[in-house]
Chains A and B, each alone.
Chain A
Amino acid sequence: EVQLVESGGGLVKPGGSLRLSCAASGFTFSSYNMNWVRQAPGKGLEWVSSISSSSSYIYYADSVKGRFTISRDNAKNSLYLQMNSLRAEDTAVYYCARAAARTLTLMDVWGQGTTVTVSS
């Protein structure tokens, strides 16, 4: 079964840091581009960041550029999102999503999400 499982969310103070992880199983992780998408409470979906299969190409939304870093470890079938200088507006459910073959951001498999709350 194809599966993505996020972890690492929690409560953090403004200005703090968190590292999200996404464990992939059931498919050849190293062959797929991956994404992070977030959803603030009661709001819609927002693309956050993308990384190509070999980490050659990385993209960020302007709202997180310079503060978040996406990375992956193909040997561990894992995707990461290092989040620094967190703000209240970063509060959201963060989803890890696989990109369909030969695309970067057509997201065909999603994890269940991990919740990040930024509050003092």
Chain B
Amino acid sequence: EIVMTQSPATLSVSPGERATLSCRASQSISSNLAWYQQKPGQAPRLLIYGASTRATGIPARFSGSGSGTEFTLTISSLQSEDFAVYYCHQYNNWPPWTFGQGTKVEIK
């Protein structure tokens, strides 16, 4: 099983500042990495797939990078609606397909 490890668990950021979230895979997953945003009481929403491609309708302030085992989600200038929990997810070839434990982005 591929273990996905996200850091930090909680990130305190002021509105307008930059946020950098990390995700590490226990073995190479090429670029088969997605990022999801989840707000309280809501379903997850796809932000990034293929490690760096924004999903439809996702603002340009969200960007993803990395390949292999190290990945990063960057939010260039945090807006009030961006405070949420973010999950990385590997969808490499074989099951089980796994998620990171999440990073909560909170208002500083």
Contacts and interface: CB of A to CB of B under 8 A. Distances in A.
B59 interface: no
B89 interface: yes
A60 B101 CA distance: 20
Interface stretch (A15-23, A81-89, A109-117): A109-117
A103 B31 CA distance: 13
Interface of A: 37, 44-47, 50, 59-62, 95, 100, 103-108, 110-113
Given A106-B34, A106-B91, A113 B97 contact: no
Contacts of B96: 47, 59, 61-62
23 contacts: A44-B99, A44-B100, A44-B102, A45-B38, A45-B89, A45-B99, A47-B95, A47-B98, A50-B95, A60-B95, A61-B96, A95-B43, A95-B44, A103-B91, A105-B91, A106-B32, A107-B34, A107-B44, A107-B89, A108-B55, A110-B44, A111-B43, A112-B43
Interface in B40-89: 42-46, 49, 55, 87, 89
B108 to A, nearest CB: 23
Nearest to B55: A108
Contacts of A113: 43
Nearest to B38: A45
A51 to B, nearest CB: 12
Contacts of B36: 45, 107
Most B CB contacts (10 A, CB to CB) among A103, A106, A110 go to A106
Given A107-B46, A108-B46, A108-B55, A46 B91 contact: no
Given A44-B101, A44-B102, A110 B45 contact: yes
